């Protein structure tokens, strides 16, 4: 059985303990850039795989996030989870909790390798992953490349029950709440 590793601010870990579960809050599509709207999963595949609802997201079988770090994704993940740079109350969390739990059979896995800084640099010579969020892609050629890689990312979706441990940066998406009794607090750390 696979294990998911999920990062959350300790303040939110306290809320999880109070509520009794980790709630699914992440949408399984990227929609924050104009080039990301050209359609990556056909509607019927999205519905079949449960991608019409929020999910709990985590790293699969990687408590140290080595694969995420190797492909240049770990720092971005820490910034996103910590809320660094957001302009809202309590957005800049410095203390994070690493949670783990067994992956339920309803989960799917995607290979984040396809949209990682290392992959973009290795294949195309520039880090389009960070460029997209920091300055924008700025050219049609870069948008086409991003679309291709996002298509590969979305198309890599596999049910956890069919997963063959063959992804470079496996990212697990779970469409259900995780009850507190199934969660282990692995560690608390400061960034």
Q: Where are the domains of the chain?
A: 3-31+42-112+155-190
- Other Cβ atoms less than 10 A from the Cβ of 123: the count is 13
Q: Does the pLDDT of residue 98 top 80, yes or no?
A: yes
**Which residues are CB-contacts of 144 (< 8 A; sequence separation ≥ 6)?**
35
Least Cα distance to 5 among 189, 191, 153, 183 occurs for 183
DSSP state of 87: -
Q: How confident is the model at residue 191 (pLDDT cuts 50, 70, 90)?
A: confident
What CATH class has 3-31+42-112+155-190?
Answer: alpha beta
pTM score, whole prediction? 0.86
Q: Does the pLDDT of residue 52 top 90, yes or no?
A: no
């Amino acid at each position: 059985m696979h294990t998911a590793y999920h990062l959350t601010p300790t303040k939110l870990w306290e809320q999880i303990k109070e509520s009794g579960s980790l709630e699914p809050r992440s949408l399984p599509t990227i929609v924050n850039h104009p080039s990301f709207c050209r359609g990556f999963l056909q509607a019927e595949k999205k519905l079949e795989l449960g991608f019409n609802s929020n999910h709990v997201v985590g790293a699969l079988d990687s408590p140290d996030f080595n694969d995420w770090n190797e492909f240049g994704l770990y720092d971005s993940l820490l910034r996103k989870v910590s809320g660094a740079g957001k302009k809202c109350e309590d957005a800049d969390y410095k203390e994070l909790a690493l949670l783990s739990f067994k992956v339920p059979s309803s989960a799917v896995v995607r290979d984040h390798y396809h949209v990682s800084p290392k992959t973009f640099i290795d294949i195309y010579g520039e880090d389009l992953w960070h460029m997209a969020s920091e300055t924008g892609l700025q050219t049609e050629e870069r948008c086409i490349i991003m679309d291709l890689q996002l298509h590969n990312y979305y198309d890599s979706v596999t049910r956890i029950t069919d997963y063959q441990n063959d992804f470079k940066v496996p990212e697990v998406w779970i469409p259900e709440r995780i009850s507190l009794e199934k969660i282990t607090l692995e560690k608390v750390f400061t960034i």
